[in-house]
Amino acid sequence: MKAHNRPICFSRVKSIFSPRFPIFLGIGAAILLNGCEKPKAPPMAGSVQAPGVEVTEVKIQTTEIPASEAAQLVEHLQKAYAREYGASVKYEKWGEKAEKEGWKRAAALFRAISHSEKVHADNHAAALKVLGAAPIANIAVPEAGTLEEMFQNALENERETVENFYPELITGLKKLKNHETLLKNFESAKINDGQHAKLYESAVKDPKKWNDEGGDFTVCLICGEIMEGTPPANCPKCGSAKEKFKTFSGK
């Protein structure tokens, strides 16, 4: 059976300001993520649930982590959240401009990638809340230019994220212990951002074909995977059913 890269969830932690506290970060830990399977029982006391996020309770492993290490986790997550959320806001606004100017296929692309970035941002935000930290993002959306300029800016942003941003975060996280679940989610986001870069690269090479109507883009609400055209029954990345998909039409 194919092993799918499904998101994992955290729950039940004490304040990061305690000298030491338990965090559930083992491979079997629970993760608060957009699209986790719907729980059969209510979340246990002390769990944190972000808006629109479902909680899954699974068998967990616990480990004692110094507050200084927790602070590093928060720093990594804040950086990841700010970047993903900022990209989501930017692409959504550019999708609005593309729609107003009649670039329906371009609008669908921007909005689909915006939603994929939001899946990642929501995942990082949920983990931050469990660690006792509020997600912070200071957003400055660049002025939308021509369609070609927006595509080029987006391509450069995604390349930087894939080639430098996430590799640096992943390297830093590997220096800490027992954080396999965060590593998996950073690596999953990096894979999707690579997919975004390829889509924007195609758009930069031939922007004119994006001025007209075109096919649909479907986003998996579990992992952020983007599928072009008619989506399959299950996400090719994490295996989630199509009931967890959201489609953006370019028609």
For the chain, the average pLDDT equals 77
**pLDDT single digits (tens) 119-160:** 999 999 998 988 889 998 887 777 778 999 999 999 999 999
CA separation for the pair 109, 114 (Å, rounded): 8
What percentage of the chain exceeds 70 in pLDDT? Answer: 73
Contact criterion met (CB below 8 Å) for 223 and 7: yes
Just give the CATH number of 68-248: 1.20.1260.10
**pLDDT single digits (tens) 22-35:** 444 432 333 433 44
**pLDDT single digits (tens) 201-249:** 999 998 878 876 677 999 999 999 999 989 999 999 999 999 999 999 8
pTM score of the predicted model: 0.76
The predicted pLDDT at position 210 comes to 80
pLDDT band at 20 (very low <50, low <70, confident <90, very high): very low
The predicted pLDDT at position 225 comes to 96
Tokens 């927790």 map to which residue? Answer: 70
Q: Give strand pairing partners of 9.
A: 30, 31
Which amino acid is located at 130 in the chain?
Answer: V
Tokens 């000298």 map to which residue? Answer: 19
Mean pLDDT computed over 183-192: 93
Mean pLDDT computed over 91-104: 92
Where exactly are the structural domains of the chain? Answer: 68-248
Contact criterion met (CB below 8 Å) for 7 and 185: yes
3-state secondary structure of 69: helix
The predicted pLDDT at position 233 comes to 94
240 vs 39, 124, 161, 204, CA distance in Å? 15, 20, 25, 31
CA separation for the pair 11, 31 (Å, rounded): 7
**pLDDT single digits (tens) 150-181:** 999 999 999 999 999 999 999 998 888 768 88
**pLDDT single digits (tens) 44-84:** 223 233 333 333 322 223 356 677 788 889 999 999 999 99
The predicted pLDDT at position 63 comes to 52
The predicted pLDDT at position 213 comes to 67
The predicted pLDDT at position 65 comes to 67
12 vs 19, 208, 227, CA distance in Å? 17, 51, 35
Mean pLDDT computed over 171-195: 89
Which amino acid is located at 188 in the chain?
Answer: S
